[in-house]
Homo-oligomer: A and B are copies of this chain.
Amino acid sequence: MIVYCVEVSLIKGREKDFLNATEENHLNTRKETGNVRFDVLQQQDDPSRFFLYEVYKSDEAVKSHKETAHYLKWRETVAPWMASPRKGTCHLPHFPKDETKW
């Protein structure tokens, strides 16, 4: 498994647009066979900052996700709303040890 975290900083005023576009991406990504979680969060002390917590079964599943129509549509839709480039970081999960708890 692999966890892909994405930090997002938006132009002020685009929060609602971003959430609408990202809900669609969230719902479709959760239908991918290689996806385990796709949590969408908003930073409490700075509502212009969002955090995506994406869990996939493998590196291949991440690659497949980035080739889906819903991801490509999301990427294009949200691009003009970014205040700075998104920052993605890959992590290896240690706990929970039991993969069924993800």
Chain A contacts to B: CB under 8 angstroms: 2-3, 5, 19, 22-23, 26-27, 30, 38-45, 51, 53, 89-96, 102
Q: Are A39 and B3 in contact (CB under 8 A)?
A: yes
Q: Are A45 and B94 in contact (CB under 8 A)?
A: no
A56 to chain B, nearest CB (A): 12
A102 / chain B contacts, CB cutoff of 8 Å: 39
Q: Are B94 and A40 in contact (CB under 8 A)?
A: yes
Task: Tell me the complex Cα distance, A2–B51, Å.
Answer: 13
Which one of B2, B44, B53, B96 lies within 8 Å of A92 (CB-CB)? B44
Task: Tell me the complex Cα distance, A92–B94, Å.
Answer: 24
A96 / chain B contacts, CB cutoff of 8 Å: 26, 30, 39
